[in-house]
A and B are shown apart, each in its own frame.
Chain A
Amino acid sequence: MSQVIKSPALVVHTRRWSESSKIVELFTPHGLVRLIAKGALRAKSPFRGVLEVLNEIEAVWHVRETRGLQILTQATLLNSFQDIRGDLEKTAVAFAMLETLQKLLRSGEAFPAFYAYLVQLFEKLNKDAQTPPVLYLWHFLIRFSDELGFALQLERCSVCHQVPQEFPVWFRPDTGAVVCGKCASPTESTPYVELAASEYRLLTQLQRMEYPAPSVPELPHQMHRITGFLLKHLAHHTDIPLELNALKWL
């Protein structure tokens, strides 16, 4: 029995397989899928230029249970996000998102809503000339935590249930909750991560936004600290250490 699937997909990773074929890893509404694209490297292959990392494509593949690797039979380019490719920061951020997906998702888990979100995010990042690209990465990491079932609880202090007024606030990666400056003392030996007022406001605002926008308050000085903090939260819940190679370009 074989079943044909036709689906939009983001190309996450490709590698050479034999003389002229490629193994492609796709993020689709059906989750992560690994397929073999026969002859993809040949000069006359219809896959040429389509199976490139970052591209959104429409893919057709056949599923046969008895086969380990399924075969990609057709691929058409939907969007190549040219303005992401032309910009080093945007490319690094997009790669970082793909890297996160590849490291944290197991194949077989379906994420239709998250797929739609990510493609929109790429489209916006592609066109956006104002918002610092790293905000897109943070927005993605916040949404991804949410999707995996451990959303950040930033709005109110988990002890007094008030909107924090005193800073810094303290964030616990294990519960995803914040404790305001009034309720926690920095001397406590708990695994809290300190968030300054500017960092806290930025994260809560990003979490409320459907997509990042240039109206976000000014960027904190230590940008890597926020990325590190969001990655730590994800790593804590998935038990997978996350060091994103793409961020080393920045």
Chain B
Amino acid sequence: MKALPEALQQLIQAFSRLPGIGKKTATRLAFHVLKMDKEQAMELARAIQHVKTNIRFCSICYNITETDPCPICRDPLRDKSTICVVESSEDILLIERTNEYKGLYHVLGGALSPLDGIGPEDLRIKELLNRLTPEVKEVILALNPSTEGEATAIYLARLIKPLNIKITRLARGVPLGSSLEFVDELTLSRAIQSRDEL
């Protein structure tokens, strides 16, 4: 490794911190960047910088956004009586793609996972409860179909039940295991349509 210039070593190290990228792939990527034409490489650098300086969390739903509140929270046509609770912003993207849902969202920032040290205080649960004004008639729990997602759903259901708000979750068409990301659009859209009351 000593043979490589310091700057290139730094880039390799930066790439190898990305998920699913080992030393070998990181080295290949770094050499690829080196071979790119300058404008393309600078565009990549600027895009990374832009994401980190301009993207923040919506102060209402905690979706990632360039404007606060986010476009969904600001949209007067969205149904303010329904909040769909998801684990991450990526899940919003998936649900929006189905064109099936017209309400608002709330991003928890994960699911309860005791063995990873993630407890209720690490998720945006208090923030969710603060949003449950009388205007809200239904909360959809669209958490991942995993043990942790299910546990989070029953934990939230217990907190929301006393508020007399209808609680639903995605229909069983969503197969157990892993995350929403691997559920195809059609299945997801059917699961939203035929959601079950909890």
Contact = CB atoms under 8 A, between A and B. Distances in A.
A98 B115 contact: yes
A12 to B, nearest CB: 7
B158 A43 contact: no
A52 B177 contact: yes
A200 to B, nearest CB: 29
B154 A52 contact: no
B174 to A, nearest CB: 10
Which A-B residue pairs are the 8 nearest by beta carbons? A49-B177, A245-B114, A246-B114, A18-B20, A49-B176, A53-B147, A48-B177, A41-B178
Interface string B93-108: 0000000000000000
B110 interface: no
A91 to B, nearest CB: 5
Contacts of A55: 147
A41 B114 contact: no
A91 B158 CA distance: 14
Interface stretch (A82-90, A214-222, A229-237): A82-90
B19 A249 contact: no
Interface of B: 19-20, 112, 114-121, 146-148, 150-151, 154-155, 158, 175-179, 182-184
B188 to A, nearest CB: 12
B115 A12 contact: yes
Chain A interface size, under 10 / 10 to 19 / 20 to 34 / 35 or more: 35 or more
A119 to B, nearest CB: 17
Contacts of A47: 177
A109 to B, nearest CB: 19
Given A47-B177, A245-B114, 15 more contacts: A16-B19, A18-B19, A41-B178, A41-B182, A43-B184, A48-B175, A49-B175, A49-B176, A53-B147, A88-B154, A91-B151, A91-B154, A95-B151, A244-B114, A245-B117
B114 A96 contact: yes
Q: Which of A52, A86, A246 counts the most B-chain CB atoms under 10 A from its CB?
A: A52
Contacts of A12: 115
23 contacts: A13-B116, A16-B19, A18-B19, A18-B20, A19-B20, A43-B182, A43-B183, A43-B184, A48-B176, A49-B175, A51-B177, A52-B146, A52-B177, A53-B148, A54-B147, A85-B147, A86-B154, A95-B114, A99-B115, A245-B118, A248-B114, A248-B119, A249-B155
